[in-house]
């Protein structure tokens, strides 16, 4: 019983990381029909922004050593700037392109960012020590819960609350939802497309920055491809949840986190190495049973 609860907590914590990443990807998909492969690389950039740029093996913290009230906004700012730059340089000229073209373009952006990081910081993984105090465990009854998992959960809840308040209560939030529903119609009614898209990129940048800090604290290492597996799982979470639906992205993120953790815990040891294969086979299965995802979005229905 205790074991099961422990696994559940792991699943929720992993799931909330995936949900944050999926939310960043889902937000852009809703408005732009862009499946942003480069989102994982935004996370990588957030993590590498913590250290002194050099190709040395040991990483020295630069921004990462600042006090957190200064450091967190700085990291967010850096990632948001990168996100806005990718929009301005790569995606804005492609506004009229089809969804597969955008997807391939984001693949190219991701490739460029990864090798840019590789060029500046070298290819070897680096160890960093960021807030390692957060990895201590808290006892709740018989449960041992790492402090970081609680922080992750809290951050996820706060960010989701903030985003849903933004979308529901502010003028720009309403414009964004309108744009996600029907971009052309929203433009006819006076929504400025590039502003709304810029805000979406900025929010996805902030989400990526949050994930980069949480993930770096947890793993304690950096590598130029560190964002890729996160983006892969989140990408799948978006699809499983239902493309274009933000609730779906969150649900998908938690579902994937749950599946991965449970497979890791309950697969027979011989098969544990094949965890990812099982997880992704499950994804294909979900797609076959519910092609529109668990929480289908209205706007993705095919129109004739």
Could you say whether residue 121 binds another protein (CB under 8 A)?
Answer: no
Is residue 298 close enough to count as binding another protein by CB under 8 A?
Answer: no
Task: Report how far residue 23's alpha carbon sits from residue 1's, in angstroms, rounded to the nearest whole number.
Answer: 32
- Compare residues 74 and 225 and give the one whose CB is closer to another protein: 225
Q: By three-state DSSP, how is residue 143 classified?
A: strand
**Residue with Cβ nearer another protein (66 or 282):** 282
d(C-alpha 139, C-alpha 148), whole Å? 13
Looking at the Cβ atoms of 187 and 221, the one nearer to another protein is 187
The nearest distance, CB 235 to another protein, in angstroms, is 7
Kindly state whether residue 170 participates in binding another protein, applying the rule CB under 8 A. no
Is residue 99 close enough to count as binding another protein by CB under 8 A? yes
Nearest CA-CA partner of 32 in 41, 44, 24: 24
Rule CB under 8 A: choose which of 2, 73, 85, 93 binds another protein: 93
| Interaction of residue 249 with another protein, rule CB under 8 A | no
CB-CB contact of 29 with 243 (8 Å): yes
Selected binder of another protein within 5, 77, 103, 147 (CB under 8 A): 103
CA–CA distance from 253 to each of 20, 60, 183, 227 (Å)?
A: 8, 33, 26, 16
Between CA 125 and CA 128 the distance in angstroms is 10
Looking at the Cβ atoms of 90 and 147, the one nearer to another protein is 90
**Selection from 97, 88, 111 nearest residue 37 by Cα:** 111
284 makes contact with another protein (CB under 8 A): yes
Residue 205's alpha-carbon distances to 82, 184, 239, 256, 303, in angstroms, are 8, 25, 20, 22, 31
Q: How many residues bind another protein (CB under 8 A)?
A: 50
Question: Are the C-beta atoms of residues 35 and 45 closer than 8 Å to each other?
Answer: no
Contact between 191 and another protein by CB under 8 A: the answer reads: no
Q: Is 150 in the site for another protein (CB under 8 A)?
A: no
> What Rg, from alpha-carbon coordinates, does the chain have?
19
Residue written as tokens 């989400």?
207
C-alpha distances out from residue 120 to 53, 55, 56, 111, 223, Å: 7, 7, 10, 14, 12
x/- track of binding to another protein for residues 50-79 (CB under 8 A): ------------------------------
Phi and psi at 52, nearest 5°, equal -70, 130
- Residues in contact with another protein, shown as a per-residue x/- string from 253 to 282 under the rule CB under 8 A: --------------------xxxxx--xx-
Residue 292: how many other CB atoms lie within 10 Å: 17
Q: For another protein, which residue of 2, 54, 57, 111 counts as binding (CB under 8 A)?
A: 111
Q: Are 194 and 92 in contact (CB under 8 A)?
A: yes
* Tokens 């920055």 found at: 209
Q: Which is nearer to another protein, 169 or 303 (CB)?
A: 303
* 289 contributes a contact to another protein by CB under 8 A: no
Residues 224-243, interacting with another protein (CB under 8 A): 228, 232, 235-236, 239, 243
Closer to another protein at the Cβ: 104 or 151? Answer: 104
Q: Would you count residue 85 as binding another protein (CB under 8 A)?
A: no
Residues that bind another protein (CB under 8 A): 33, 35, 90, 93-101, 103-105, 107-109, 111-112, 114-116, 118-119, 183-184, 187, 193, 228, 232, 235-236, 239, 243, 273-277, 280-281, 283-284, 287-288, 291, 302-304
């Amino acid at each position: 019983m205790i074991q099961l609860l422990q696994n559940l907590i792991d699943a929720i914590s992993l799931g909330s990381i995936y949900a944050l990443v999926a939310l960043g990807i889902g937000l852009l998909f809703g408005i732009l029909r862009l499946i942003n492969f480069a989102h994982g690389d935004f996370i990588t950039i957030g993590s590498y922004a913590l250290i002194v740029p050099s190709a040395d093996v040991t990483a020295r913290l630069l921004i990462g050593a600042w006090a957190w009230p200064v450091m967190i906004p700085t990291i967010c700012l850096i990632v948001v700037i990168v996100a806005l730059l990718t929009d301005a340089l790569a995606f804005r000229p492609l506004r009229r392109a089809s969804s597969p073209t955008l997807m391939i373009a984001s693949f190219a952006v991701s490739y460029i960012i990864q090798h840019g990081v590789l060029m500046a910081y070298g290819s070897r993984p680096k160890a960093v020590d960021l807030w390692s105090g957060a990895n201590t465990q808290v006892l709740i009854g018989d449960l041992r819960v790492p402090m970081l998992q609680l922080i992750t959960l809290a951050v996820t809840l706060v960010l989701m609350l903030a985003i849903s308040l933004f979308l529901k209560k502010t003028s720009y939030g309403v414009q964004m939802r309108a744009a996600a529903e029907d971009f052309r119609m929203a433009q006819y009614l006076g929504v400025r497309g590039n502003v709304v898209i810029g805000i979406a990129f900025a929010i996805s940048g902030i989400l990526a920055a949050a994930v980069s800090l949480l993930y770096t604290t947890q793993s304690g290492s950096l590598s130029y491809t560190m964002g890729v597996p996160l983006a892969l799982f989140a990408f799948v979470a978006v699809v499983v949840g239902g493309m274009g639906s933000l609730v779906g992205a969150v649900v998908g993120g938690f579902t994937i986190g749950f599946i991965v953790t449970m497979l890791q815990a309950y697969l027979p040891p011989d098969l544990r190495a094949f965890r990812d294969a099982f997880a992704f086979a499950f994804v294909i299965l979900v797609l076959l049973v519910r092609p529109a995802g668990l929480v289908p979005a209205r706007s993705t229905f095919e129109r004739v």
